[in-house]
Amino acid sequence: MFLKLMLISVVFLGIAFAGFAIKILLLKNGEFPETKIGHNKTMRKHKIFCVNTTQKIIDKGISKDQGVSFRGTTCDGC
């Protein structure tokens, strides 16, 4: 019973890893999407910034509703 369950688990994990590999090969850039907040266009569009940028906004007293753009701000240190 244990061996059967282990074999099924290994087969499912193999299928999952094969799916990830195929996804990488078929993607336009061959890479996974960017997950860092500072480099993700969708998060910047929704005005979601990394902790460092948020702290700069708080320190300067700038309201996020004022439409201030922080495109030049990078979050490489995050």
Please give the pLDDT value at position 68: 52
What does the pLDDT average to over 58-74?
60
- Name the residue ranges covered by the structural domains of the chain: 1-32, 35-66
pTM (2 d.p.) = 0.38
**CA 54 to CA 70: how far, in whole Å?**
10
Hey, what are 9's tokens? Answer: 């688990």
Are the CB atoms for 3 and 18 separated by under 8 Å? Answer: no
Residue 70's SS3 state is: coil
At 2-47, the pLDDT tens digits run: 999 999 999 999 999 998 888 778 876 666 666 677 777 777 788 7
DSSP codes, 4-46: HHHHHHHHHHHHHHHHHHHHHHHSSSSSPPP-SGGG-HHHHHT
